[in-house]
Structure 1
Amino acid sequence: MEDRKLTVRAVERALDILLCFTKDNELGLTEIAGQIGLHKSTVHRLLTTLEEKGFLTRNAATEKYRLGIRVWELSTHLPAYDESAALLLPAMERLRDRLGETVSLYLRDGLERVRIQAVQSQQAIRRVAQIGARLPLSVGASSKVLAAYAPPEVLQSLLEGPGWPDYVERDAYKHQLQEIMKLGYATSFEEREPGAAAVAVPVVGRSGTVVAALSVSGPVSRLSQETLLAYAAVLHETAAEMGLMLP
């Protein structure tokens, strides 16, 4: 039993190392050890194994690691939502061209949202959205949309979980979710990022359930409350178009 525990712990630590690269393209030994809270000698052994298996590659000049070819090979076998992200890309591009701001598509995964597709604004000052980014459900327009239409047990876990931010009042948040379900959209002003604003709407699949959140985001200097409300109607048009393409 003890050997099994050690094996599982080693797997968890190796996965923790790989997850470090969701935020950074290249990381050194010291940086990785600091992020996951392990001694450098332990991390070095795990890095060596991951490199040998092709999950990481090391730059000999900088001594830093980045994701290896095995990760990209695995990505070619992602489930259907990845295909949906590619299918919905043209509609998102048309929305970006129409509104001039960054467009993102999110799915809920547990108590987080994951950006599965994004189309960047072409303006000089814009919000850059990284595909694959994981964000909490507690703040942000898309988070509130996904939380509003999530099963009750998900909302309860979210509100009672240890990751709930102290600066967000739970009762006010629940009231926001009720309003979102009435209005059909959510807005946010600098809730997660200083200087950023967004509006999001649900994407309803053919089954009648909310399968994603579609958002437009950009700097608060361009996105006033009035502008976001006008954009919400345009987002609903695109979301309806997308819903016909999804199960």
Structure 2
Amino acid sequence: MEESGGKLTVRAVERALDILMCFKDAHDLSLTEISGRVGLNKSTVHRLLATLEEKGFLLRDGDKFRLGYSVWELAANLTQVDDAAQLLLPEMERLRDQLGETISLYVRDGNDRIRIQAVQSNQAIRRVAPIGVRLPLYVGASSKVLLAFADEAERAETMQSPSWPASIETQDFLQQLEEVRRSGYALSVEEREPGAAAVSVPILDRSHRISAALSVSGPVSRMTPDTMRTYAPLLMEAASRMEKMIRTVNL
């Protein structure tokens, strides 16, 4: 601990926060760039980056780092967030009004998915989707989308992890993911939650990599397989508009 401006501070925490603040005006940064910005040697910055990455506050993409999904989870408690979740909210509301069901936006974090935005249905009987909830990648329409459109190495790493249920038959699941890639959407009926069903589509970034999964969910009494298949093209249209919005602001 040391005194700064009359207050005791923990130096390692202060340095870690300085690193995070580097990203307020940059999408991604290398170790060298971060080291230069915070005025610390590379070995010190490397150790701090490893800790921030382990805790989910940073993600590594090759030799670059960018903000991780733990930031999304914290931001879920803010009323105004200048990020994709806030940017896409009006489009999600429009889709909710069109379909009458709950709309959710998910991103992948390791072997989980996180709901970073949601618009609740206005119907009396509806599926409530709290923002910030972390769910497993092995079940649900959005999980299938996030895995189906991930690259092969990421998909294999997830399915070989200790947290992956041994009860899931690998070949059957891979066939499901292949069908999701072919059709462009995934369905789930009471897979994760009794009485609930969902259909999900991918949102791709400018490099055509999976960025998020957009889903509509509701009670099985309304969300029949046939109904969900009619919703799928409407979700794809909305996802296409969202992709253009994200690329425009370079998120």
CA distance in 1, matches of 2:101, 2:108: 23
- Verify the 8 A CA contact 2:107 2:211 in the aligned structure 1: yes
Provide the secondary structure at the position in 1 that maps to 2:86. Answer: helix
Whichever residue aligns with residue 119 of structure 2, its letter is V
Could you tell me how far 1:207 is from its partner in structure 2? 2.9
1:123 corresponds in structure 2 to 123
> Identity percentage over the alignment?
58
Whether the aligned pair in 2 keeps the contact of 1:101 and 1:123 (CA below 8 Å) is: yes
What's the CA shift for 1:109?
1.0
Look up the match of 2:231.
Answer: 231
Q: Deviation above 4 Å: which 4+ runs of structure 1?
A: none
Residue 168 of structure 1 corresponds to: 168
Report Cα offsets for 1:17-60 as digits up to 9, x if no partner: xxxxxxxxxxxxxxxxxxxxxxxxxxxxxxxxxxxxxxxxxxxx
Question: Tell me, what secondary structure is at the counterpart of 1:244?
Answer: helix
Q: Which residue identity lines up with residue 208 of structure 1 in the other structure?
A: H
Contact 2:146–2:213 (8 Å) recurs in 1: yes
Tell me the equivalent position of 2:108: 108
Q: Which amino acid aligns with 2:173?
A: Y
8 A Cα contact 2:120 2:127, kept in partner: yes
Contact 1:111 1:154 in 2 (8 A): no
Structure 1 Cα separation of the partners of residues 114 and 82 of structure 2: 12
Does structure 2 conserve the Cα–Cα contact (< 8 Å) formed by 1:112 and 1:134?
Answer: yes
Give 1:82 deviation, angstroms: 6.0
Instruction: Name 1:158's counterpart in structure 2.
Output: 158
Q: 1:221 to 1:167 in 2, by over 3 A?
A: farther
Q: Contact 2:102–2:218 at 8 Å: present in 1 too?
A: yes
Partner SS, residue 83 of structure 2: helix
1:10-29 counterparts in 2 under 5 A?
Answer: none
State the Cα distance separating 1:75 from its structure 2 match: 4.1
Instruction: Quote how far apart the aligned CAs of 1:161 are.
Output: 1.7
3-state DSSP of counterpart to 2:123: coil
Question: Per-residue deviation at 1:168?
Answer: 2.6
User: For residue 246 of structure 1, what is the aligned residue in structure 2?
Assistant: 246
- Give the CA deviation at 1:196: 0.6
Q: Which residue of 2 aligns with 1:203?
A: 203
Q: Which residue of 2 aligns with 1:31?
A: none
Is structure 2 residue 144 aligned with structure 1 residue 141?
no
State the SS of the aligned residue for 2:246.
coil
TM-score, normalised on structure 2? Answer: 0.65
Q: Which residue of 2 aligns with 1:183?
A: 183
Within 1, Cα distance between the matches of 2:124 and 2:158?
Answer: 36
- The answer for unaligned runs of 5 or more in structure 1 is 1-70
Aligned residues: 173
Residue type at the aligned position of 2:118? A
Shift of 1:167: 4.0
CA offsets 1:132-188 (integer angstroms, 9 cap, x no match): 111111010000000011122221122222222344322111000001110000000
1:60-75 aligned at under 5 Å gives the runs 75=75
